[in-house]
Structure 1
Amino acid sequence: MRIALIHALKHSIVPIEASFARLWPDATLMNLLDDSLSADVARDGHLTSAMTDRFLTLGRYAASTGADAILFTCSAFGPCIEAVAREQAPMPVLKPNEAMIEQAAARGHRIGLLSTFPPTLQSMPSEFPRSIQIVPKLADGALAALDRGDRAEHDRLVAQASRDLRDCDLIALAQYSMAPAAALVAEASGRPVLTTPDSAVNKLKQLLAVTA
């Protein structure tokens, strides 16, 4: 199976490849990175029709390579990814947090949504069922630390921010790049922690009827 991975942040590549290596090593992966996507949505402050067109173009290219499924790892672009899914149906096209949201909604009613990218906290809460109470929290400065190559500082800031979510049933880490900090977040908050990459890989296997 050929899986196209489309990224808006370079930091997402290593965590999702690690999940595939552990959970689905036989999958053939193709990485597409356009890091101007995240910069442009941060600049504009909202998703535009031009941004949707860019996502449709990426989806068409991925499909043209013979991909069996597309996984977007960029969490601030839900409506754009939904447009790709409609155009590419019946090919599976997953939003980055889709599988994790399903797990979170089944396990708790008050969910701490921890993010390092501010636009995610605008777009992602609406993807949860209305019955779920979302408590958004930004790990301020963490993404900048990661951009500098300081993973330890990123993880420290993420764990520090998670302490404000200790009254939640669980904590969902919104960015793929946050997955390596999961153990620190669990220790700092005392809450169960869900990450996105493993959930996404397992859902793709299910959709494509791949057995372990």
Structure 2
Amino acid sequence: MPRVVLIHAVQIAMQPIQSAFQQYWPEAELINILDESLSIERAKQEQLSQALISRIIDLSEYATSLGADAVLFTCSAFGEAIEMAAEQSAIPVLKPNQAMFLQAINISPNVGMIASFEPAVAGMEQEFNQLAKAQGKDAQITTVCVAEAKEALKQGDVDKHNQLTANAAKQLNEQPVLMLAHFSSSRALDAVKKATGKQVLSSPVSAVEMLRTVLTKTA
């Protein structure tokens, strides 16, 4: 049974990835690590500090020591640090949006993204562009950010979160495929589909499908 260690920076990211595994790969054994101070410190920084980068790498190494077959980070604001951790790891270490970005790039050259955590946006757009270039694709990403949705979710108001996210998605008129930027955003999947009539991707589902494929091949 493959063991996947999930590393979270916010509690609201935990339920969506648990649900995605339950639905698409229930056989996987999951171990959760939660460090909310990561998101608190990240929100204070325009750029990732060396201290935060070191902490991400240390967490990846700790996950490996637990016997992980793969590590998945569920917070989208640490891309550069996760890449460094992956380079030093003997097992797959995935960024939260890596699989979703690849999927979107292969669907359309014009992609929209709805985010709710502004500090994560620049890094995510950079990751998207780098992946597109590596895939030989001329893809473009357009992002709208609705911070109020994250605040609503933190207050436990899922309906308001979903409605705010769906309303923001309507701004992306020219993009045939949309992405929900964060694991926590995936709760709005049905609402965004209904509001826009477009193909909508969520990072938890894409990540689980990618991990299942990678680890099944290496088993």
Structure 2 partner of 1:122 = 122
Calculate the TM-score normalised by the size of structure 1: 0.95
> What does 1:152-191 correspond to in 2, within 5 Å?
152-191=159-198
The secondary structure found in structure 2 opposite 1:44 is coil
SS in 2 for 1:74: coil
Q: Please, which runs of 5 or more residues in structure 2 have no aligned partner?
A: none
The equivalent of 2:37 in structure 1 is 36
Aligned identity (percent) is: 41
Per-residue displacement from partner, 1:149-199 (whole Å, max 9, x unpaired)? Answer: 111111111011111012212111111111121111112122210011111
CA distance in 2, matches of 1:22, 1:193: 18
Q: Equivalents in 1 of 2:186, 2:217: separation in Å?
A: 24
- Distance in 2 (CA, whole Å) between partners of 1:138 and 1:101 is 17
CA distance in 2, matches of 1:169, 1:47: 32
1:55 aligns with 2:56: yes
TM-score by length of 2: 0.92
Q: Is the 8 A contact 1:19 1:197 kept in 2?
A: yes
| Backbone CA RMSD of aligned residues | 1.3
Question: In 1, Cα distance between the equivalents of 2:122 and 2:10?
Answer: 18
In 2, Cα distance between equivalents of 1:40 and 1:140: 17
The AA in structure 1 aligned to 2:179 is A
Residues of 2 paired with 1:40 and 1:99: CA distance? 26
Structure 2 equivalent of residue 107 of structure 1: 107
CA distance in 1, matches of 2:190, 2:11: 22
Q: Aligned equivalents of 1:92 and 1:23: distance in 2? A: 19
Provide the C-alpha distance between the structure 1 equivalents of 2:98 and 2:78, rounded to a whole number of angstroms.
12
Pairwise CA distance, 1:210? 5.9
2:18 matches 1:17: yes
SS in 1 for 2:68: coil
Shift of 1:126: 1.2
Asked if residue 140 in structure 1 is aligned to residue 147 in structure 2, the reply is: yes
Contact kept? 1:166, 1:191, Cα under 8 Å: no
Letter in 2 for 1:103: Q
